[in-house]
Structure 1
């Protein structure tokens, strides 16, 4: 394990992190005892205090145990957008000594069936708009649905624009195994004693399923607690900070930053169910938000907003995130417009959030940062697993306290995901990166995303970063196209800035690329689109574009 990055370690931060060896519920319990009347979350001007939060979570736990038969270690699905109910349900499930299975609300019935069947969940807490997708699953393993209506927590008048799906009134249901959130709370059932501990399963988020079906990542209270505490210490977050929770909480980054960390450090969270750049700016101004957690795609959208200058954003002290390397041109725009450096980090579902962060006082551009507390991270040859020298590209492997136990009911996949090095169990990330002489890590690309152009390796993320420097490019995604002579060639799918639409041609982009990058990296094909497909967590879905391209090419071959 290299310690050279400690030379740039923040002065206020210990090199070893002491993490509470407790059940996650204790964080809710302690914050409620210390600050019962302080607002924990704000939802379109409706406040929920720490005391109310803990009380309602206990009611949910009581109902799960006494009416649904949920016992210790049982998996319970949670499928909602960011909302008071998501947050309360998450801790209600934990208080029942059960395991939370957070699920992306974009999934349809057949996709949801996999989570139900694979996890063995018998109960699901869901949002009202998803009822039609879940009711059929009551015949496929689910026994009870608890349905929440977002508008139940619109209890204060607000000048903010409330989306229609949030404002929608409660719709009664006649199904005997469907119960409303309001009925659950009205029962006021108390849960039994808390019996779980730090090494019991707490959360089981599923991977995105890049190969086969999604797999459940087994995280304990201990591994989940690590990043709830680490971010608070690293960024010096105390009870005075106000965060905007817009990253989806069904994803580990949003879950840790928007729920688990502020509950631990008694901060206040302003909730947005979905990304909206104007709503985000309005909330910063209205609630004096001090911290924004945004993935790269959100920052690109945020800084390209022509109305950005109309908002008072002076309360912001930091913008941090990850998801993809931040294009240098976008980072420079952010710093020019707002005086803030984007602090990139790196993590995975398998690590329950960050394993790397940039030091607040010494960040590097387009950099994952340095290994976090007690993390041993290395770059190795993806075939031989031998260590590589500084500057060489290889697979990032990580060992640390936040790494999952393994994949649920998938012993073969678990074995394939880990490798032993010097007696330590390292997770193979599947991400390619390099480390510099100071111990900072840099992302290159996904191991399986490489484009092979006449034997030359092209990393799409590198080409995308260069394309962002073109003044007309708002967003870019690079994919591979089959080429009889070269094997593969590079294609760029581009969203132009609104003022540039119709003013720039594909050939002009290609010519610019020729002048600014190596010939083998230069896109030979450019396609303009109105928008790029994005996942529920806001990441650009490059696989979707790649699959569409593959289908189109095959169709052309078949018709020839």
Structure 2
């Protein structure tokens, strides 16, 4: 597929030129046209440049799904800067890392997150925070149930270094000429690594453009497509499927700040939603709504997602209710969402799909790098236009993440899989040590690194434990310091963790142990603990 040789921002510019009065977003019954979206993007871009944001500078984007998220994202790109999407669940230690690692001086944040980011103005190099209140963009007459963050009164505090969203827009600053091109950096989403702190995946406008365009063509999207956005925009799947791709097509996106199965069903019926990208746990919850049969879902023509394999029984229920197959796909932060998707006219259950446009994906032996044939298990490696340029300021890890095959550079995913005779890929296991809790990836080494900051912890090993709803959950096996053995409690450590890291990373189970198993060379034998845990709870 021939991709546009332009920046991602130009997709909005072109859609606004083609469809100025067409609805770009609907947010709890409040519509926004493409003309208005572009106007506010230009104003915010001008404000950012007035604050000294220059080409290539990194800007934190720390908010939940909302029209403001799309405005902020495209304003950063319009200013020739680089978006640093931050998980709204991230807390102190994680925010400090993002600011220090990227050198960001400006952050655009939701008001419910202000309490976590504002202390960074005193303790880090962060200089300016723009705070937005979601309720200023909703229809005040809506009969939809509003999440607490959306219903909350607008921000009105006077804090040094902080301006409100409205103040920033009211400055009417005009941005300079847009000069970013396809090979300039556009977005750096963070992917937690096996060696501790999260690492930034460098994506150019070209790689972000690739998945936006691929998805539009894979799903045959047009300006008349209506997409329900329930996946978070900070995550590459939501960013691509529910924001960047619809804007490329000139489509309409129905935005939800928080997941609510009843609100989702009402929005599908009310706005004749045609496409919905989600994660499996969301689809399961949606279908388990006892009142789901009351809603008209006939407008839907595509439902899909990933995060975990879709259970066959749930897929069958979805098919019976809507006549649609659940279209599964596969991708990573390093590939700006999908490298593999199931064809809509011939999907296979619990399958990653086939490589999308211009992706060369193979299975290789983890140790010898020898290429495998159909049915043989090995590591997935991929070459394609959406693959990251590497990890921000981590040349050694970048080098280790790629392998050359037939003169081409392939990214090593760390996932074990095989492909069948028709070229469909199927997941088998993970090479890397990782916990998959309801589709959220938790890297034990990162959690361990944060937990070692607790003064009572002498040693810690984080493993997965089976969970009836999440599939897996996080467990921490802890050796306490001698001073803390009589005073430390599980509840206190969990409470401390909640202040330091995203909620989905916080250990749900704490076990105090006398010692952790180690190899003769002193290496922590986490796999032994892991296997013992799953065997005990089988």
- The residue aligned with 2:148 is 164
Partners of 2:204 and 2:187 in 1: how far apart? 7
- The residue aligned with 1:197 is 181
Partners of 1:62 and 1:330 in 2: how far apart? 48
What are the equivalent positions in structure 2 for 1:95-494 lying under 5 Å apart?
95-139=78-122, 140-448=124-432, 492-494=466-468
Partners of 2:297 and 2:193 in 1: how far apart? 38
Structure 1 residue 151: Cα displacement: 0.7
Q: Provide the aligned C-alpha RMSD in A.
A: 2.5
Provide the secondary structure at the position in 2 that maps to 1:105.
coil
- The residue aligned with 1:56 is 40
Assess if the C-alpha contact under 8 Å between 2:89 and 2:503 holds in 1. Answer: no
Partners of 1:100 and 1:343 in 2: how far apart? 29
Structure 1 residue 490: Cα displacement: 11
- The residue aligned with 2:475 is none
Corresponding residue to 1:552 among 503, 507, 511:
511
Tell me, which stretches of 5 or more residues in structure 2 are unaligned? 445-462, 471-497, 518-538
Assess if the C-alpha contact under 8 Å between 1:355 and 1:372 holds in 2. Answer: yes
Provide the secondary structure at the position in 1 that maps to 2:200.
coil
Structure 1 residue 540: Cα displacement: 12
Structure 1 residue 279: Cα displacement: 1.3
Q: Encode CA deviations 1:238-282: one digit per residue, 9 max, x unaligned.
A: 011100011000000000111110111010000001211111111
Instruction: Normalising by structure 2, report the TM-score.
Output: 0.82
Provide the secondary structure at the position in 2 that maps to 1:294.
strand
Provide the secondary structure at the position in 2 that maps to 1:250.
coil
Tell me, which stretches of 5 or more residues in structure 1 are unaligned? 1-16, 451-459, 465-473, 481-488, 497-534
Provide the secondary structure at the position in 2 that maps to 1:448.
coil
Assess if the C-alpha contact under 8 Å between 1:391 and 1:434 holds in 2. Answer: yes
Partners of 2:53 and 2:90 in 1: how far apart? 24
Structure 1 residue 47: Cα displacement: 0.7
Q: Encode CA deviations 1:164-189: one digit per residue, 9 max, x unaligned.
A: 21011112222221000001111111
Partners of 2:251 and 2:407 in 1: how far apart? 39
Structure 1 residue 209: Cα displacement: 3.9
Provide the secondary structure at the position in 2 that maps to 1:552.
strand
- The residue aligned with 1:78 is 61
Assess if the C-alpha contact under 8 Å between 2:194 and 2:432 holds in 1. Answer: no
Partners of 2:10 and 2:169 in 1: how far apart? 21
Residue range with higher mean Cα deviation, 327-336 or 127-136: 327-336
Instruction: Give the 3 Å change call, closer, same or farther, for CA 157–209 of structure 1 in structure 2.
Output: farther
- 2:5 paired with 1:21: yes
Partners of 2:257 and 2:515 in 1: how far apart? 41
Instruction: Give the 3 Å change call, closer, same or farther, for CA 227–446 of structure 1 in structure 2.
Output: same
Instruction: Give the 3 Å change call, closer, same or farther, for CA 378–553 of structure 1 in structure 2.
Output: farther
Assess if the C-alpha contact under 8 Å between 1:297 and 1:540 holds in 2. Answer: no
Partners of 2:66 and 2:464 in 1: how far apart? 41
Instruction: Give the 3 Å change call, closer, same or farther, for CA 274–555 of structure 1 in structure 2.
Output: farther
Partners of 1:447 and 1:232 in 2: how far apart? 32
- The residue aligned with 2:73 is 90
Partners of 1:62 and 1:320 in 2: how far apart? 37
Partners of 1:385 and 1:62 in 2: how far apart? 49
Structure 1 residue 156: Cα displacement: 4.5
Provide the secondary structure at the position in 1 that maps to 2:429.
strand
Q: Encode CA deviations 1:203-240: one digit per residue, 9 max, x unaligned.
A: 01101345310001100000100011001111110011
Partners of 1:149 and 1:341 in 2: how far apart? 38
Partners of 1:253 and 1:553 in 2: how far apart? 37
Q: Encode CA deviations 1:422-443: one digit per residue, 9 max, x unaligned.
A: 1111100011111001111011
Partners of 2:115 and 2:516 in 1: how far apart? 40
Instruction: Normalising by structure 1, report the TM-score.
Output: 0.79
Partners of 1:101 and 1:380 in 2: how far apart? 32
Q: Encode CA deviations 1:483-511: one digit per residue, 9 max, x unaligned.
A: xxxxxx99642149xxxxxxxxxxxxxxx
Partners of 1:202 and 1:556 in 2: how far apart? 46
Partners of 1:168 and 1:548 in 2: how far apart? 29
Assess if the C-alpha contact under 8 Å between 1:40 and 1:49 holds in 2. Answer: yes
Partners of 1:383 and 1:302 in 2: how far apart? 42
Partners of 2:232 and 2:8 in 1: how far apart? 20
Partners of 2:193 and 2:166 in 1: how far apart? 34
Assess if the C-alpha contact under 8 Å between 2:190 and 2:199 holds in 1. Answer: yes
